[in-house]
Structure 1
Amino acid sequence: MTAPPDRSWTRRARQSYRGSSATERTPMHEMAITQSVVDAVCEHAAGRRVHGVTLEVGALCALVPDSMQFCFGLATEGTVAEGAQLDIDVHPATGHCRSCGDDFVLADFILLCPCGSADVEVTAGRDIRIRSMEVS
C-alpha cells in the first residue's frame, strides 16, 4: 500500500495566499487544477522520475499559464515530479454557428458568431489534456 500524497504544499499555499497582497496571491483555481494534473502524472509515472510535462489548455479554461507554473512548483514538491519542467500550450477556442453553419475562432467568452447569431456551439477550448510527459 502506498502512502497518501504529501499535501503540505496546501498549507504553504494558504499561508502565501493570506500573507500577500491581492495582486500576488496564490491562484487557488489554478492550484486545484494543477494538483489534479500532478496527481495523474505521478500515478502514471509509477515511481519513475518525471522530467517534463506538456499540457494542452483550451482558451476557455480561464487558466493563467504563469500561475499554473507557480502552482506546479508547489504541487510537485516531494513527488517524483519535483523539479520537472511544465510546458503549457494554450489552444484557441472554436465554435460552430447553428444559424449560418460557419466554424470560427472565439475571441473571448462572448459566444457570438460573426454573422450576429448567438446560437453557437463551442467545439473546442474547454478542455485540459496532458499531451506528454518525460520520465526515466
Structure 2
Amino acid sequence: MHELSLCRSIYGIVDKARDSRSVATVHLQVGQLRQVVPDTLCYCWSMITEASPLAGSELEIDHVPVRLDCRACGERTTVEHVLVLTCASCSSGDISLHTGEEFMVTSIDLAPPSVVDPTSVVDPSSVVELVETTSPAPDPPPVVDPTSVVELVETTPPAPEEH
C-alpha cells in the first residue's frame, strides 16, 4: 500500500504551505500510470491527518489519462487500455508519453481566517480574568468593545488614588 507513504509526503507539503492556517481541500493530479487507488489514498489521508492540524481536510483527485504523442503519424491520442501503449490513430509503438505519470499537489483550499466580529460582545468576566493574571484591574464595564481588550491587557491600570 504505497498510498500511505504518498499521503505522508502530501502531508509534509501541505503542512509547510498552509502557514498555520486551516486546510479545507487538497487538490491533486494523479496520472493513470501511477497505479494509485483513489479510495485507498483518501482513506490513508484521513488516517494521516486524524488528530493533526489538517484533520477534516479532504483530498480532491483529478485523474489524468494517459496521452501519447505518436512519432510515426504525429497524432496525440488518449490510451484506452493502459496495458497497450500504442498510438490509437495508427497503432504504432513509436510513441512518447505526454501525460499519465503525474502525481502532484496542484492547489490547496485554505479555510477562511477566523475574524473577530467587532460587533460581538465580549464576556466581561473573561476580560477580568485575563487582566487579573497580569495585574489587578478595576471592574470592567458590563460590555467591552473587543478592540479595547488588547489595550486593557497591555496597559497597566492606574494606581489607586490615596485619600
Scaled to the shorter chain, the TM-score interval is 0.7 to 0.9
1:60–1:109 Cα contact (<8 Å) kept: no
AA partner of residue 46 (structure 1): D
- How big is each residue's C-alpha offset from its partner over 1:62-90, in whole Å with a ceiling of 9 and x where there is no partner? 11110111010011123321111211111
Counterpart in the other structure of 1:37: 10
Q: Does 1:129 align with 2:104?
A: yes
C-alpha RMSD of matched pairs (Å): 1.3
Q: Which residue of 1 is the match for residue 94 of structure 2?
A: 119
Using CA pairs under 8 Å that are at least 6 residues apart, name the structure with larger relative contact order, 1 or 2. 1
Unmatched 5+ residue regions in structure 1? Answer: 1-27
Distance 2:110 2:74 in 1: 44
CA distance in 1 between partners of 2:43 and 2:64 (Å): 20
1:49 aligns with 2:4: no
Q: Deviations over 1:32-89 (max 9, x none)?
A: 1121111100111122211211111111111111011101001112332111121111
Aligned to 1:110: 84
**d(CA) in 1 for partners of 2:52, 2:17:** 13
Cα distance in 2 for residues equivalent to 1:131 and 1:120: 27
Q: Distance in 2 between matches of 1:125 and 1:33?
A: 17
Unaligned ranges ≥5, structure 2: 112-163
Identity percentage over the alignment? 31
Match of 2:155 in 1: none
Q: How many residues align?
A: 109
1:112 shift after superposition: 0.8
CA distance in 2, matches of 1:65, 1:39: 19
Query: Could you tell me the TM-score, scaled by structure 1's length?
Result: 0.74
More strand by share: 1
* Preserved CA contact (<8 Å) 1:42 1:79: no
